[in-house]
Amino acid sequence: MKHNTYTPYRQKSFFAHTHNIITTILFCIFVLFAILAPYIAPYDPNAIDITQKFAPISLEHIFGCDHLGRDIFSRILQGMRISLGSSAIILVCIVILGISIGGLCGFVGGKIDSIIMRVCDVLLSMPTLVLALFFVGVLGVGLVNVIFAIILTHWAWYARIVRSIVLSLKNKEYIVLSSCYGCNKFQSFRRHILRPVLSQCVILASMDLGHIMLHIAALSFIGLGVQAPMAEWGIMLSESKDYLWSYPQLMLYPGGALFISVALCNIIGENLRAYYDMPISHT
């Protein structure tokens, strides 16, 4: 008896699926709020007003106020700006480092490849959060040092992936023959390999965005990242933990914002991976 098997094919557009449209729109709304945070926040996120201490939800304060009378909604918006902005900067730097170092190792090889890959092996053998804690301890606390620490702990993953892609493609006939037409190794990489490498890095970066946001929040929560009184979700969670039983909403709002942001990033990253893994439909 013959069984019919169904093989899913990639649609012409990523937005051919409704759930991709919905998650992308929601994420774009978050990004828009982060960009416009200084203009749409109703109050100064760091302004203290003890007379509004633990103020409940109202038309003036739609999320209420914290233990220092600061508007929670304004602080959520400012925290969104810091988390998304810092994560974007980190990912751009990681992708640039990964493509540069991985491409160099894959194309040049030899001792340079061996030395750099052994460094990658050391970095990849340890949990990234523990390694980030080490680098923050060496560099010092603060958002800038957290950004450097996360970059130093994550570039090796991208360099490994880029190197493997370059090694799988550099011996293809059309790349080998490109040298006959006057192309050097850099030109061959830019013309024939950069595009597939970049597409894989974009997919990996979209899946890592939420992971890096959690790193920033975790380091801020334990006092090694963003420092008070700057509004950041990890800082807000840390400051409100003492009021968990009496005013649980102080942790609910930043925790919910972090959860939704990370979930959206993971869903979009998984959708992109599934989309590019599907064979292309020729119908």
Report CA-CA distances (Å) from 59 to 37, 44, 141, 229. Answer: 19, 16, 37, 25
Q: Residue 254's pLDDT is what?
A: 92
Question: What is the CATH number assigned to the segment(s) 80-277?
Answer: 1.10.3720.10
Place of tokens 């990964």: 98
Cα atoms in the 13 Å half-sphere on the side-chain side of 57 = 6
b/e code 151-186 from CB counts within 10 Å (16+ = b): bbbbbbbbbbbbbebbeebbeeeebeebeeeebebe
> Which residues does residue 133 pair with via DSSP β-bridges, in sequence order?
none
Cis peptide bond upstream of 229, omega within 30: yes
For residue 173, which amino acid is it?
E
pLDDT tens-place string over residues 74-133: 999 999 999 999 999 999 999 999 888 888 888 777 888 889 888 888 888 888 888 888
Tell me if residue 194 falls in helix, strand or coil. helix
pTM as predicted = 0.84
Distances, alpha carbon 215 to alpha carbons 22, 203, 212, 270, in Å: 26, 19, 5, 20
For residue 71, report the phi and psi dihedrals to the nearest 5 degrees. -70, 120
pLDDT at residue 111 in the model? 85
Q: Spell out the residues 6+ positions from residue 176 whose beta carbon is closer than 8 angstroms to its own.
A: none
Tokens 């830019």 -> residue? 190
Residue 280 DSSP class: B
Measure the CA–CA gap between 58 and 214, rounded to whole angstroms: 30
71: β partners: 65
Q: What pLDDT shows up at residue 13?
A: 67
Kindly list the domain boundaries of the chain, sorted by start residue: 80-277
Give me the residues of the chain with pLDDT under 50, please. 1-2, 6-7, 279-283
The rounded distance, in Å, linking the Cα atoms of 79 and 221 is 13
* pLDDT at 91 (0 to 100): 92
Q: Cα(20)–Cα(265) distance, rounded to whole angstroms? A: 12
Beta bridge partners of 65: 71
| Amino acid at site 140 | G
